[in-house]
């Protein structure tokens, strides 16, 4: 009986062409042709190229397949038919990791490094490539100051990439107001713009934008029921004007207080005068001693009347329709705008309007005398003419 089994096995091996001394792995028992089969441990239809068996070609042994293309036979998700995913594994066995992966994010070229990319230059990659951004929202990828997070400013650019250049609703400043009466003062709702629109101004200080003579810089006419200077009322007004006046009655100087008066030949400390005349506005004038009429007078804000123009012979500073000059070691006075001045050291010019000139000498921080009151000159040693200063707050 044992002899018959051995004989039958030998005949079977002979039928598949195997010799008695063949050492290759084989499970063929009765077949016309044998072939190599590949171990498919994870049953994904692809076998391992390093685990083989020689068996009949017409029937795959259990756990084996004909394809030796699996690069990880212990992972059913890894084989040539798999889709590449972002997992740092060669899922599709093409010797590349995470290339063209399903679900991989799209990155966009960020040439200017502002974290916003160019939507026309995409790259699909599991990890962020150098020089790329996730947001495809840059409208100018060559300017890092232009991106969706930028603040819109007036520069003829769409800084924040919202599709609107210099968007008025987003501008942080540059607000203007309608100036209907053309007096330089506006009113009404704010109008954002990058440039001053026609018929507008940068302030909203006008209390009546239909009347040009009513504005913050207008002269108040006292007790007429109209708030000309937009200070909130008509009472307690200060007598004001623009430019230079002659023959001004001191009784008309409502709201002004005399803070200094001294003869032209007197020497006075400028610092003392400035301390005594501390109002927001100063009025300089001159008169014959004892007169109730100022020969010539002008006023302006304190900082303009005391604006140091140096000792230049023609130096001056314009304010409230008057050209002013002041220096602690030269002279102090005024003249009509455009009429010129010759300070050596005091005003020796006549010009076209000699009656609208005033000049007092200064030296080393003192007022040392006077030279001129209107058309009258050479008053340095005079006791018959007074220098007068008023001050007021308005």
CA distance 167 to 177: 18
Q: Which residues of 43-54 are buried (b: 16+ CB within 10 A; e: fewer)?
A: ebebbbeebbbb
- Supply the pLDDT for residue 2: 30
pLDDT value of residue 223: 66
pLDDT, residue 112, reads 95
pLDDT at 171: 72
Specify whether the CB–CB gap between 185 and 205 falls below 8 A. yes
pLDDT in tens, 14-38: 333 333 333 335 555 568 899 999 9
Cα–Cα distance list, 66 to 74, 211, 269 (Å): 17, 101, 116
**Nearest Cα to 179, choosing from 191, 167, 171?**
191
Low-confidence ranges of the chain (pLDDT < 70): 1-30, 172-173, 222-223, 235-236
């Amino acid at each position: 009986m044992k002899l018959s089994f051995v004989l039958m096995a030998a005949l079977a091996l002979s039928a598949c062409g195997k010799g008695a001394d063949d050492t290759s792995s084989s499970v063929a028992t009765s077949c016309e042709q044998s072939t190599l089969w590949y171990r498919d441990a994870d049953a994904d239809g692809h076998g391992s190229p390093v685990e083989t068996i020689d068996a009949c070609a017409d029937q795959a042994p259990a756990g084996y397949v004909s394809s030796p293309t699996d690069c990880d036979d212990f992972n059913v998700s890894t084989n040539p038919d798999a889709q590449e995913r972002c997992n740092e594994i060669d899922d599709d066995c093409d010797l590349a990791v995470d290339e063209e992966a399903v679900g991989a994010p799209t990155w966009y070229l960020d040439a200017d490094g502002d974290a916003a990319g160019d939507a026309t230059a995409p790259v699909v990659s599991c990890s962020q490539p150098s020089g790329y951004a996730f947001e495809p929202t840059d409208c100018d990828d060559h300017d890092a100051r232009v991106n969706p997070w930028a603040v819109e400013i007036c520069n003829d650019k769409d800084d924040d990439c919202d599709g609107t250049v210099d968007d008025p609703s987003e501008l942080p400043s540059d607000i203007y107001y309608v100036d209907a009466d053309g007096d330089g003062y506006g009113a009404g709702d704010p109008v954002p713009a990058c440039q001053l629109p026609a018929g507008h101004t940068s302030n909203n200080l006008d209390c009546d934008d239909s009347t040009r003579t009513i504005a913050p810089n207008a002269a108040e006419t006292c007790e007429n029921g109209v708030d000309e200077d937009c200070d909130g009322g008509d009472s307690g007004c200060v007598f004001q004007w623009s430019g230079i006046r002659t023959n001004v009655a001191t009784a008309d100087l409502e709201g002004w207080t005399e803070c200094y008066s001294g003869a032209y030949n007197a020497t006075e400390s400028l610092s003392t005068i400035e301390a005594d005349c501390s109002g927001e506005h100063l009025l300089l004038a001159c008169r014959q001693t004892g007169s109730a009429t100022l020969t010539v007078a002008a006023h302006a804000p304190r900082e303009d009347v005391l604006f140091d123009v140096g000792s230049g012979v023609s130096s001056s500073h314009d304010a409230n329709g008057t050209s002013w000059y002041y220096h602690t070691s030269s002279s102090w006075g005024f003249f009509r705008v455009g009429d010129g001045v010759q300070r050596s050291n005091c005003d020796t010019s006549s010009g076209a309007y000699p009656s609208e000139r005033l000049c007092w000498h200064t030296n080393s921080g003192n007022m040392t005398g006077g030279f001129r009151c209107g058309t009258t000159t050479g008053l340095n040693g005079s006791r018959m003419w007074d220098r007068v200063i008023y001050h007021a707050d308005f």
